[in-house]
Amino acid sequence: MTLLRFKNQSIRQRLTFIIMAVSCVSVLLTTLAISIIGVYNLRANIIDELDVSASIVGDRNSAALSFGADYKEQAENNLNVFSVKRTIIQSCLYDKDGGLFARYVSVEYEGKRLCPDNLSERAVIGGEHIEIMKHILKAQDKIGYIYIESTLEQIDKYIEKQTSIALLVSVFSMVLAYFLAVSLQRSISRPILSLAETAKQVSQRKDYSIRAAAIGDAKEEQNNELVILTDSFNEMLTEIGARETQLKKQNVALEKAKDAAESANRAKSQFLANISHELRTPLNAIIGFSSILMNQLFGALGNEKYLEYAHDINESGAHLLNIINDILDLSKAEAGKLALSYEEVHVGKAIQKCVTILSERAQKGQVTINADVPKMLPPLMADRLRFIQIILNVLSNAIKFTAESGKVDITARLREENGGASDFIITIEDTGIGMSREDVDKAFQSFGQVDSGLNRKYEGTGLGLPLTKKLMELHYGVIAIASEVGKGTCVTLTFPAVPLVEVAMENE
């Protein structure tokens, strides 16, 4: 059974085994069938032979039987012819009344056998011997009976001989079958082995120019699956090779395009960083001097209009500075150059600070801000200034996009995690104009202001949310926006309990 499972056998071994198994089984079955037929024929022959012998001996003794007891000796002499046949056990001659007239018994069976009483005509092959009983007739009259018993030796010998011949033939056919199988299996196994070897070579060397050795023409030998298999396999390799070449070309082109895009992006970031820096210096002067004018540090300005203009200059300058700062931060973050300095941040205080900064703006828009921060919150590991920047961005949006008499709720809480560490969850929810799902995606793109016509009246650059997202990512945190048009927006900021950067450093 284990042999038949063919678990780890090569195709050569399998084919050899199959061919041998089939031929051996057929040889065995044939010899078995021949032997059985032989035995049956032999039995019939033996019976025939005994029958003829019985008839002849019966005939020869008919005179003796007719003349009576005086001729017993002659009859016994007649029966003695059986002594030349070793297989005859005994022979009994009965007179017409069934009385024993003469008998022959072989030396070997002397005293071991009796003549049977049953005189009915029969020819029987038993387990150990063959017996035949025949009536002796003379001119239609029954004048006596003849009985012959023979051993089965002849049949036993035949079976013995037949078995050894069968064994010999089987051994000879096995040897022959083996050599035949070994040579015949080649026509099937060779192409398959060649295919397997080619496939192995191709996968090892990644060389698609290798081909399996052709064994014929698939167009001419359409019934030969092996030829078709080899041909198709080679065609497949050609196709893969062509695709591989094409893919490589495309990859090179893509790589070039990617390099170009990356260098353009780097140039953009570099340009932004430079220009932001160059712009900030004069702007600081504008803001500083307008503030001096506004505060009339060197005496009254005289005309009210000058004071108003100085105020405008200062406000516009501050606004421009904010935009430039955002651009600079964003390009730094995109270039991976924005580094955080972690410290323990008191979340409650930081949020309160943001609320204070924006309270004037909220009052102007008649928006109420409710901050609900538990007193017992542990400190958050974060960059304090960036944390405040994040909250300011989101909170200023909430105020900006909420109509009069709306409200904004800020909450902060801990979310218990399985491992014992807990994430910081901060939510900023407003009752403002809201956004659709697509708008939320758009809002996260740089300069991605949602253009609904409605918010045209809201000033801004569309840099706040992309920057906030970047800053959250730098903190290994997540920003999620749930919003519904006309109902409001809820921004959820999740900060991991221990910044992963620290965990990573500890593990190093």
Residues that bind Mg ion in the complex, under the rule CB under 5 A: 397, 464
Residue 401's binding partner, choosing from ligand ADP, Mg ion, none, with beta-carbon cut-off 5 to 8 A by kind? ligand ADP
CA dist., res. 392 & res. 386, Å (int): 10
Task: Specify the stretch interacting with ligand ADP by CB under 6 A; choose among 102-110, 218-226, 419-427, 432-440.
Answer: 432-440
Beta carbon of residue 440, minimum distance to ligand ADP (angstroms, whole number): 8
Task: Specify the stretch interacting with ligand ADP by CB under 6 A; choose among 20-28, 91-99, 218-226, 458-466.
Answer: 458-466
Beta carbon of residue 430, minimum distance to ligand ADP (angstroms, whole number): 5
Residue 38's binding partner, choosing from Mg ion, ligand ADP, none, with beta-carbon cut-off 5 to 8 A by kind? none
Query: Phi and psi at residue 158, in whole multiples of 5°?
Result: -60, -45
- What six digits make up the tokens of 244? 């591989």
The reply on whether position 398 binds ligand ADP by CB under 6 A is yes
The reply on whether position 131 binds ligand ADP by CB under 6 A is no
The reply on whether position 333 binds ligand ADP by CB under 6 A is no
Beta carbon of residue 464, minimum distance to Mg ion (angstroms, whole number): 3
- What six digits make up the tokens of 265? 């992006």
- Strand 407-416 versus strand 478-484 pairing type: unpaired
Q: Could you tell me if 434 and 486 are in contact, meaning their C-beta atoms sit under 8 angstroms apart?
A: yes
The reply on whether position 432 binds ligand ADP by CB under 6 A is yes
Nearest to 481 by CA among 429, 406, 407, 418: 429
The reply on whether position 429 binds ligand ADP by CB under 6 A is no
Residue 494's binding partner, choosing from ligand ADP, Mg ion, none, with beta-carbon cut-off 5 to 8 A by kind? none
**From the list 351, 450, 471, 479, which residue makes contact with ligand ADP (rule: CB under 6 A)?**
450
CA 255 to chain centre: 33
The size of the interface with ligand ADP (CB under 6 A), counted in residues, is: 21
Q: Residues with Cβ < 8 Å from 461, sequence gap 6 or more?
A: 323, 326, 447, 449
∠246-248-249 over CA atoms, to 5°?
A: 65
CA dist., res. 14 & res. 8, Å (int): 10
- Strand 407-416 versus strand 368-372 pairing type: parallel
Q: Residues with Cβ < 8 Å from 28, sequence gap 6 or more?
A: 166, 170
Nearer to Mg ion, 464 or 496 (CB): 464
The reply on whether position 329 binds ligand ADP by CB under 6 A is no
In whole angstroms, how far apart are CA 268 and each of 55, 261, 337, 463? 128, 10, 14, 16
The reply on whether position 348 binds ligand ADP by CB under 6 A is no
**From the list 224, 455, 492, 494, which residue makes contact with ligand ADP (rule: CB under 6 A)?**
455
Beta carbon of residue 468, minimum distance to Mg ion (angstroms, whole number): 8
Residue 224's binding partner, choosing from Mg ion, ligand ADP, none, with beta-carbon cut-off 5 to 8 A by kind? none
Nearer to ligand ADP, 185 or 393 (CB): 393
Beta carbon of residue 450, minimum distance to ligand ADP (angstroms, whole number): 3
Residue 398's binding partner, choosing from ligand ADP, Mg ion, none, with beta-carbon cut-off 5 to 8 A by kind? ligand ADP
The reply on whether position 489 binds ligand ADP by CB under 6 A is yes
Residue 430's binding partner, choosing from Mg ion, ligand ADP, none, with beta-carbon cut-off 5 to 8 A by kind? ligand ADP
User: What are the residues facing 426 on neighbouring strands?
Assistant: 412, 493
**From the list 272, 433, 474, 497, which residue makes contact with ligand ADP (rule: CB under 6 A)?**
433
- Three-state SS annotation for 378-411: CCEEECHHHHHHHHHHHHHHHHHCCCCCCEEEEE
Nearer to Mg ion, 380 or 398 (CB): 398
- What six digits make up the tokens of 53? 């012998």
Strand order in the sheet with 100-105: 100-105, 88-95, 141-151, 129-138, 122-125
The reply on whether position 324 binds ligand ADP by CB under 6 A is no
**From the list 35, 77, 352, 461, which residue makes contact with ligand ADP (rule: CB under 6 A)?**
461
The total of other beta-carbon atoms located within 10 Å of residue 370's CB is 11
Q: Could you tell me if 462 and 451 are in contact, meaning their C-beta atoms sit under 8 angstroms apart?
A: no
**From the list 381, 392, 430, 469, which residue makes contact with ligand ADP (rule: CB under 6 A)?**
430
Task: Specify the stretch interacting with ligand ADP by CB under 6 A; choose among 212-220, 226-234, 343-351, 446-454.
Answer: 446-454
Nearest to 331 by CA among 272, 267, 259: 272
CA dist., res. 285 & res. 407, Å (int): 37
Q: Could you tell me if 459 and 320 are in contact, meaning their C-beta atoms sit under 8 angstroms apart?
A: no
The reply on whether position 198 binds ligand ADP by CB under 6 A is no
Q: Could you tell me if 409 and 431 are in contact, meaning their C-beta atoms sit under 8 angstroms apart?
A: no
The total of other beta-carbon atoms located within 10 Å of residue 64's CB is 23
**From the list 87, 397, 427, 431, which residue makes contact with ligand ADP (rule: CB under 6 A)?**
397
Closest residue by beta carbon to Mg ion = 464
Beta carbon of residue 465, minimum distance to ligand ADP (angstroms, whole number): 3
Nearer to Mg ion, 351 or 491 (CB): 491
**From the list 391, 435, 471, 497, which residue makes contact with ligand ADP (rule: CB under 6 A)?**
435
Beta carbon of residue 303, minimum distance to ligand ADP (angstroms, whole number): 34
Positions in the binding site for ligand ADP (CB under 6 A): 393, 397-398, 401, 430, 432-435, 443, 448-450, 455, 460-465, 489
